[in-house]
Every structure is written in C-alpha cells, then in structure tokens.
Amino acid sequence: MAANAALKMEHDTGAFFAEQAVDLFVASPMSPYSDAEYAASRESLIALVAELKRRFGFEKVFCPGIVVSSAASFATSYDSVAEDLAALRSASHFVLHYVNAVKSSAIFEAGIAYQLGLPSVYIVRKRADLPYLLRELEQFEHTQNGPVGARVRIVEVGDAAGSVSALVTDDWFPAIT
C-alpha cells in the first residue's frame, strides 16, 4: 500500500503534469477489464513502474492504471484526453504495457508518443497483438536511424505477461545513463 500512496502522490492531477515534465508515461489497457482483471493488471503495473524507476532512475511517472482504483473510477473521456495529452507532451520516455490484445486508448497514446519522438518500449505477449502499423515500427526505426537512433523497441513476453517487471533489461532505454 505504501508504494501505491507514493505513486498516487506523484500523479495526483493532470494540472501537475501540464506544468512539470514527466520522465515516463506508461500506457496500459485498463477500462475493458473486469474488477479482478483490473486488480491483476494494476499490480503488474505497480511492479513494472517500480522496476523502471529503480533501473533507470525515473522520478516522475504518469500511469493512470496505478492511481485509479477501479475501471469504473476513470475520469470522463474528455478529461482523460486533456490529462493524457498534457502528460505525453511533457514526457521524455514512453512504455506501452499491452499484454492483453484488447481495444484500448493505449494504442492511441503509443501513436502520439511516436509522433512526439519519445523513446518507446512496447511490451506485448506477441508482436502480432499490435495493430498492423505498430508491429514494424522497431524495424522501420532501425532501418531509418540505425540501431542507436531507433526510438521504438518491442519486447515480446509470451506467457510471462504477469511478471513483466522481472524481464526489464538495461537496454530498454539505452540512452539513459
């Protein structure tokens, strides 16, 4: 519970993120889940964000799936768009936690992050779960910009989706020292 409270304090309102830079924006489908699925996904996100903070030194993390206690508690779409766009514009890195292929605004957020040029990691069970154009962004970036300039990395986790935090490696965001 203490980790949840600390994460909530740094997330509290979209106004906070409109005024301050965000080190990391973490997008994950949350609203299509049942209460039990939501709780499991939220716990996985909490562990993932804690590991990303530990490994890469991210301090300000925007991840609505952590601070919202249930799928029914999300803000209106209008408020969510405003908050998400403000946080994305101020973010320096992006993670898509997409281990269940469901309809989600997280895909929209990944597109915005790409357009903004954010170094991004897409965590998926399998690459084929991503929409067609997102599947090849990693290869496209590698071809266009070389391995050092590539901004997108796709990490396939298969059946280990529940323990994604254990799969984080130092090369996820190689530009961070």
pLDDT score of 163: 66
Query: Over 50: is that where the pLDDT of 120 sits?
Result: yes
Task: Give φ, ψ of 145 to 5 degrees.
Answer: -120, 0
In this prediction, residues 132-140 reach a mean pLDDT of: 82
**Which residue's structure tokens are 């740094």?**
10
In this prediction, residues 27-44 reach a mean pLDDT of: 79
The C-alpha atoms of residue 171 and residue 118 are separated, in whole angstroms, by: 16
Which amino acid is located at 91 in the chain? A
The helix (run of H) or strand (run of E) holding residue 123 is: strand 120-124
Residues 6+ apart with CB under 8 A from 14: 79, 82, 83, 86, 87
Mean residue pLDDT of the chain comes to 76
Residue 167: both structure tokens together:
């799969």
pLDDT score of 147: 58
The C-alpha atoms of residue 129 and residue 49 are separated, in whole angstroms, by: 22
In this prediction, residues 47-52 reach a mean pLDDT of: 90
Query: Over 50: is that where the pLDDT of 49 sits?
Result: yes
Q: Is 110 helix (H, G, I), strand (E, B) or coil?
A: helix
